[in-house]
Amino acid sequence: MNRRQFVTRSVAAAAAAVLTGSDRRADADQVPGSITSSEVQQARFPDGFLWGTATAAYQVEGAWNEDGKGESIWDRFTHTVGKVKGNTTGDVACDQYHLYPQDIALQKRLNQKSYRFSISWPRIQSTGTGAPNMKGVDHYSRLVDTLLAAGIRPFCTIYHWDLPQALEDRGGWPNRDLAGYYADYAGILAKHLGDRITIWAPFNMPWSFTYMGYGVGAFPPRRTHLGDFFKAAHTVTLAQAQALRSIKAASSKATVGSAYGMCPAYPKTNSEADRAATARYHAMNNVFFLEAAMHGRYPKAFVGEPPYELMGFKPGDEKIMHAPLDWVGFHYYTRRVISDASNSRSFGGGGFSGTEIEADAEGGRDPYTRFRAVMPTEGPLTEAGLEVWPRGIYDLVMQISREYNNPIIEITESGCSYLDAPYDKENGRVPDTRRIEFFRKELAELARAIADGARVRSFHAWSLLDNFEWASGQTERYGLIYVDYRDQKRTIKDSGHWYGRVAASNRLDM
């Protein structure tokens, strides 16, 4: 299908505002989905825009068993032979547990204003419950102080997938008791760090870790039961709200939002069935947890009623899960094209693409949501296999702005994996021009959304530095800074220098 046919067949079915943008770009000289160079030149970000980067504890810290840290489900998974590409682990990762002063100095050098990091739950409570391990708390306290001294906002993600193994042994997220344990853990963090941290995101990509961990077994704890997925998702919804309350009880400065993974979704055809399936995808994969927090109900993700029984939903839960967020945070990597799978008899799971997973086996993911989600390959692919589609961030930001009353938005992650390495002939420089192009076009689309009224106040590039990419191990490199894992040497890539100039000038044309 050529670009024009694609625009007609799929994007045409999206909102009128989006359509106007698509048409304007239909003859752009660049790759499909791309913005024109004059728009890149004109793009400006507002004064005070928070330029940042993001990482996650397990992916960068290392020190997996130091200072009283307990085992997490990711430690268990990576220590099992055959689970991770290249048989690498996060035991050392980027050694940021020890090298954080250096990593913060690098951020300062790149004019950064926000650092989104996550806290490792088993560092704070080795088995997930009980009194805090003060060595773990003190580590994060020092990290926060060092960030503040460098003029960088500490943005804390409370949970980025490293569940204490002891809690998995008690049933994991499908066990509703975890909501309470998690809220206690969040309260401990707010009590000890809430005098300095003002911005908290309870969960990184809740749909992904519940579905990949419990529904299809791609991630630890590798369970493959749809009922476990729905139960886990419901526990996480309750946990998100209970944590919001315990954080606010412990810290009067706290604001609480999210770090959801989202993909703008476009119907495959203009048929009513495909458009309805696209709405279900959006409800399930993008706003399931957001809608629960904002309105105390699940969105219409299902072809009938939500499977309440399967979820372990109890009367009164709608009140518990209602905890409106102060701002809305989400990631953008790529998009999806959706079709209806209602008439198909097989409901297998299975399609994997890059950092995300969709059941793109015939029949879609499950008998309840009944859609088929596919990542198109009309645009160029990154080395992680994700389609580059700059316009997606504009569409997504505008859609969330429309649907949630124009909230404050934080872009919590976005980035691309390319394997460029230091190049001797260039004095060790890393000339990663594809990453610069990726960010330049995407950020121009983000600037366009801001110009059109979206209240976006930050952008966090994934990632500050190359790191341990989950089941892909060290085979993907998302960093603005290159890491040589043999000696932990950091080299700022050309994209890092460029991003530093963007942060200093609020413009993209340099």
- 261 binds ligand FCB per the rule CB under 6 A: yes
- 499 binds ligand FCB per the rule CB under 6 A: no
- 456 binds ligand FCB per the rule CB under 6 A: no
**CB-nearer residue toward ligand FCB: 261 or 376:** 261
**CB-nearer residue toward ligand FCB: 317 or 469:** 469
Contacts 24+ apart (CB under 8 A), 166-171: 166/70, 166/71, 166/126, 166/127, 166/128, 167/127, 167/128, 167/129, 168/73, 168/76, 168/220, 168/221
- 205 binds ligand FCB per the rule CB under 6 A: yes
**CB-nearer residue toward ligand FCB: 45 or 74:** 74
- DSSP states along 301-344: -SSSS--HHHHT--TTHHHHH----SSEEEEE---EEEEE-TT-
Specify whether the CB–CB gap between 74 and 58 falls below 8 A: yes
Q: How far apart are CA 75 and CA 422, in angstroms?
A: 30
Smallest distance, ligand FCB to C-beta of residue 38, A: 31
The count of chain residues that interact with ligand FCB, using the rule CB under 6 A, is: 11
**CB-nearer residue toward ligand FCB: 205 or 254:** 205
- 163 binds ligand FCB per the rule CB under 6 A: no
Which H/E stretch holds residue 356? strand 356-357
Smallest distance, ligand FCB to C-beta of residue 426, A: 26
- 462 binds ligand FCB per the rule CB under 6 A: yes
Q: Which of 56, 167, 263, 373 binds ligand FCB (CB under 6 A)?
A: 56
- 353 binds ligand FCB per the rule CB under 6 A: no
Span near ligand FCB by CB under 6 A; candidates 67-75, 144-152, 286-294, 462-470:
462-470
Smallest distance, ligand FCB to C-beta of residue 322, A: 26
- 478 binds ligand FCB per the rule CB under 6 A: yes
Question: Who's near 166: CB < 8 A, 6+ residues apart?
Answer: 70, 71, 126, 127, 128
Q: How far apart are CA 277 and CA 269, in angstroms?
A: 11
Residue nearest to ligand FCB (CB): 355
- 470 binds ligand FCB per the rule CB under 6 A: yes
- 103 binds ligand FCB per the rule CB under 6 A: no
- 281 binds ligand FCB per the rule CB under 6 A: no
Q: How far apart are CA 144 and CA 415, in angstroms?
A: 24
Q: Using the 8-state DSSP alphabet, how is residue 13 labeled? A: G
- 355 binds ligand FCB per the rule CB under 6 A: yes
**CB-nearer residue toward ligand FCB: 54 or 338:** 54
> Which residues between 413 and 452 bind ligand FCB (CB under 6 A)?
413
Q: How far apart are CA 380 and CA 334, in angstroms?
A: 11
Q: Is 491 exposed, middle or buried (0-12, 13-18, 19+ CB in 10 A)?
A: middle
Q: How far apart are CA 497 and CA 433, in angstroms?
A: 11
Smallest distance, ligand FCB to C-beta of residue 252, A: 29
Specify whether the CB–CB gap between 465 and 454 falls below 8 A: no
- 181 binds ligand FCB per the rule CB under 6 A: no
Give the interface with ligand FCB as residue ranges (CB under 6 A): 56, 59, 204-205, 261, 355, 413, 462, 469-470, 478
